[in-house]
Amino acid sequence: MPIKHIKIKKGMKAGEIVESMGDMGFGARKISEAAVILEKMWKDKDCKVFLGVAGAMVPGGMKEIILDLLDRAEVFVTTGANLTHDLIEAIGESHFIGNEKENDERLNKEGIDRIYNVFMKNVVYEKLEDFFEKNWKAFQGCRNIREFLWKIGELSGKGILWKCYEKKIPIFCPAIADSGIGLMVWGRLAGGKKINIDAYDDMKEIIDIAWTAKKRGVIYIGGGTPKNFIQQSLQFSKGADYGIQITTDHADGGGSSGAPLKEGVSWGKMKKNASFVDVNCDATIALPLILGYLKDKV
C-alpha cells in the first residue's frame, strides 16, 4: 500500500487530520494508530479503562484533556505533581505562560517557580498550607490514599480531584509523598498532628479491579510510577487487551517510562494478542490530536 501525502484543507477537523496521518509514515502514523485503538477501547463496553498520567500535565495546559478522558476511564493513577497543580488551580491560583530562557536566579528572587516554559508563583504553597490546616480534621476518617484524595476533591469543589470524587472513580497516587501535597501532610505531622493512612490498601483495590474486569485497556501518558502501578496490577491478575503509550523516553535506558508495551507481554502485563501502540511524542502535542479524533468518532 503506497504512502499517501497528507493534504490539509480549510475547515478540516482534528479527526480528519489524524485519520489522514494513518496513511503517512513515522510518528504521524503512530498517532493515528493510537487514536484508532483508543476508539476501540472506548466502544468496548466490556473494557475497564485504566488511565496513568505521569509528569506535570496540569501546568502544561492538559487539565481539560484529562477531565475528558475521565468521562470514560474507570481507574486513574497519577503523580502527586499533577494532583498538587490541580488543587492549586482549584483553590484559585494559576499557572502562567513563561519562557525557558528567563534568568532562573532572578525568578527565584521574585518568588516564581519555572516548569520549562510555564511559571507559577511560589505563594501557592501558602494557599496549600491554609487549605490543609483548615481541613485537617476532615481527613481523619480516610483509610487509604484513594479515600484521602476523594476527600480533597470533595473539599476543592472543582478540577480532576473533584471529578474523581464526584464520579467515584478510584484514584491512586502511590508516590503521594513526592509532591506538594505530600509536603503539606508532612508539615502537619511534623507539627504533632495525626493521620492514619494505609498506602498498601490501594494496591489490593487496584488488583481486585483488574482481576474482576472482563477486559482491560491501558492509557499511559508518560510512564514512571503511574504506569508501573497499573502494570503490576495486571501482572498479578490478567494482562491488558488494549494499550496506548505516549512518551518521550526510550527503551535503551531500561526504565519503565521508555519500555515499549510489547515488553509487557513477557511479564504478562499485556496479552500477546492485544491491540497496542507506542507513540514517541510530547503528550501535549499527541494527546489533543488523539482526543480530537475520538470526539469526532464516539
pLDDT means per 10 residues in the chain (298 residues)?
A: 96 96 98 99 98 97 98 98 98 98 98 98 97 97 97 97 98 96 95 93 96 98 96 94 97 91 96 98 98 95
Catalytic, 269? Answer yes
pLDDT of residue 158: 96
Catalytic-role residue among 30, 163, 269, 271: 269
Give the cell for residue 294: 475520538
- Measured in whole angstroms, the distance separating CA 120 from the mean position of its chain's CA atoms is 20
Could you tell me how far CA 171 lies from the centroid of its own chain? 10
Asked: is 14-297 a CATH 3.40.30.10 domain? The reply is no
pLDDT at res. 298: 87
Distance CA 53, CA 219 (A): 8
Q: Which residues pair with 121 in a beta bridge?
A: 112
Which DSSP state fits 177?
A: T
